[in-house]
Structure 1
């Protein structure tokens, strides 16, 4: 899990979020307001909901973020997290403590390189299957 997480502000522009992703070499930022996690923004959100819809680089993160935050708990087992990722068809999840405070981000790569490579491969197969969760329609 990555513990030092950059949190996007919902008032940030898409350009600022994209620049942060480029600097971090990441395609995902949690979005927070105060001490609350209110969404996530991905490079895909910027492209599909932003650019493909003709939105300018000064569009706010709030306008294109995914507000339906899926997460896992810090004390969840790796197996449970991988099954959750497969069910949700996501490659990364915010990690929260039991008070629902963000403590990090876990990716399928984190899990695969830490002893769960076989199960991570099975999860990735489910993540990659076509579904309505990841529609390309604009």
Structure 2
């Protein structure tokens, strides 16, 4: 039987607010031992911030992490999937878009989880995850 994303996603995802500082985000990443954190205003996803965003966009740009808001450097327009999407279809989208994780929302577009390639490894799509990771790890030619 085909698995739904809700059956394999990580629930209870920690988030950060758009007005929190980069220092807050970095500390949360450290404490949780994660690289990406969804940026939410309530339960609505506004974007995503990663450890790489902080380094490349803020530190390299001489922005003060104690004064710079997460919203100033977060990635907007992020990819997401619905909790009732099929795992196989989400894996295909990850391959096509060369992404390792998607935010998971319900049909009201409220955050309910996050799904990563590693989560898909345990599903019937698992045999394809290695191939997907190969493709995702290849440079896309995008700047």
The answer to whether the superposition gives a TM-score over 0.5 is yes
Partner of 1:79: helix, strand, or coil?
Answer: helix
Residue 130 (structure 1) shift: 0.8
Question: How far apart in 2 are the matches of 1:36 and 1:95?
Answer: 11
Residue 132 (structure 1) shift: 4.6
Greater C-alpha Rg: 2
Unpaired runs of 5+ residues, structure 2, are: 1-8
Question: 1:11/1:55 Cα in 2 relative to 1: closer, same or farther (>3 Å)?
Answer: same
Match of 1:93 among 94, 99, 102: 102
Deviations 1:32-83 (A, max 9, x none): 1133211011111111111111112121100110011210111111111111
Root mean square deviation of aligned Cα? 1.4
Higher relative contact order (CA 8 A, sep 6+): 2
Runs of 4+ residues deviating >2 angstroms: 113-117
> 1:35 maps to what in 2?
43
| TM-score (structure 1 length as normaliser) | 0.90
> 1:56 maps to what in 2?
64
| TM-score (structure 2 length as normaliser) | 0.87
